[in-house]
Amino acid sequence: MPKESFSIDYVMEKASGPHFSGLRLEGLLSPTAASPRAPATPHSASSILDTNASNQPFVIGVSGGTASGKTTVCDMIIQQLHDHRVVLVNQDSFYRGLTAEALQRVHEYNFDHPDAFDTEQFIECIEKLRSGQSVPVPIYDFKTHQRRTDTFRQVNASDVIILEGILLFHDPRVRSFMDMKIFVDADADVRLARRIRRDTVERGRDMNSILEQYAKFVKPAFDDFVLPSKKYADVIIPRGGENHVAINLIVQHIHTKLGQHDLCKIYPNVTVIHSTFQIRGMHTLIRDKDISKHDFVFYSDRLIRLVVEHGLGH
């Protein structure tokens, strides 16, 4: 191969990792496809957008400890996705109403345990929204510890569904609905200070009850349930809503994913090949006006072969 072509290959290999080769692009083709005559093998679900899934809304899960800044992050994402229909569903809306007996001992009730939520109703709500139905979401009153019976919040089908809650990643059934999982991280002292401010102003609680509840229930539940679920996050945002750089990057990624969803909604039989460093590198090369004819044909042939083999495998 000419020296110029060799240098391009060398640069792409260095940028893309050790798995670069003509027919073994990581994440798209199996090792058995190394031979041009080898039959194409089925691709993993992570490598393409499933046709059925593409007709459903894009679901984002935002979790994190109490008062970590989840709501602020959600609000900032919603503001930047102004050109799409976006709805927010809070896990707190699905708290179980306390019985008369539990209300008498409300200070001993653990609101940070998974059993405090009606997870089945939460899952039913998500399933209906994903199928394009409108859903009445309950409104929970944190002062009376009951769901309001006189009203509810009607949530309509949308392009983007944002789920928010401290135990959002705990149940694998809820996690399975999410296209993107975000964990909002914040220092424990900062979260406690925010919780004190929130609960005294918005929920009418006194300082002693807040600190007692935090030491007895909130912190142990964070260590037992919330923190272990952090490993399921696709993105971790330190400093919460103050981290504008991270939120801007997330919104850019969401815009890219939404563009893929829109394409598949217009053309239901279209599947989108997952973008990799190798594919982006080849696209960059064939768009370079100074590339040689030989290299243009060589890398174009690679991309065309990818599309053909991907189509045959699908």
Res 253: pLDDT:
86
Domain boundaries, the chain: 3-48+273-313, 56-263
DSSP assignment, residue 170?
T
CA pair distance 255, 258, nearest whole angstrom: 5
Structure tokens at 165: 């809650």
- 292 backbone dihedrals φ, ψ, rounded to 5°: -75, 160
Q: What is the mean pLDDT of the chain?
A: 82
DSSP assignment, residue 183?
E
Res 313: pLDDT:
78
User: What is the pLDDT confidence band of residue 51, given thresholds at 50, 70 and 90?
Assistant: very low
Res 218: pLDDT:
94
User: What is the pLDDT confidence band of residue 116, given thresholds at 50, 70 and 90?
Assistant: very high
Structure tokens at 30: 């199996």
Q: Tell me the percentage of the chain whose pLDDT exceeds 70.
A: 79
Class of domain 56-263: alpha beta
CA pair distance 45, 110, nearest whole angstrom: 39
Q: Are 61 and 163 in contact (CB under 8 A)?
A: yes
Query: Model's pTM, two decimal places?
Result: 0.67
From residue 180, give the alpha-carbon distance in Å to each of 9, 142, 169, 285: 33, 29, 11, 31
Q: Which of 263, 88, 62, 72 is nearest to 167 (CA)?
A: 62
DSSP assignment, residue 223?
I
Res 239: pLDDT:
86
CA pair distance 173, 126, nearest whole angstrom: 11
Q: What is the pLDDT of residues 242-263, one digit of tens each?
A: 899 999 999 988 887 777 666 6
Q: What is the pLDDT of residues 208-228, one digit of tens each?
A: 888 999 999 999 999 999 999
Which residues on adjacent β-strands are paired with residue 164? 62, 90
- 175 backbone dihedrals φ, ψ, rounded to 5°: -60, -35
Res 55: pLDDT:
67
Quick one: average pLDDT of 175-184? 95
- Within the chain, residue ranges assigned H as helices are 3-16, 51-54, 70-80, 100-104, 119-130, 172-175, 188-202, 207-213, 219-221, 244-266, 277-286, 293-313
Flag whether pLDDT at 50 surpasses 60: no
- 227 backbone dihedrals φ, ψ, rounded to 5°: -60, -45
Res 27: pLDDT:
39
Using CA atoms of 281, 286, 291, 293 in order, give the dihedral in degrees to the nearest 10. Answer: 130
Q: Are 165 and 90 in contact (CB under 8 A)?
A: yes
Using CA atoms of 156, 242, 248, 260 in order, give the dihedral in degrees to the nearest 10. Answer: -40
User: What is the pLDDT confidence band of residue 129, given thresholds at 50, 70 and 90?
Assistant: very high
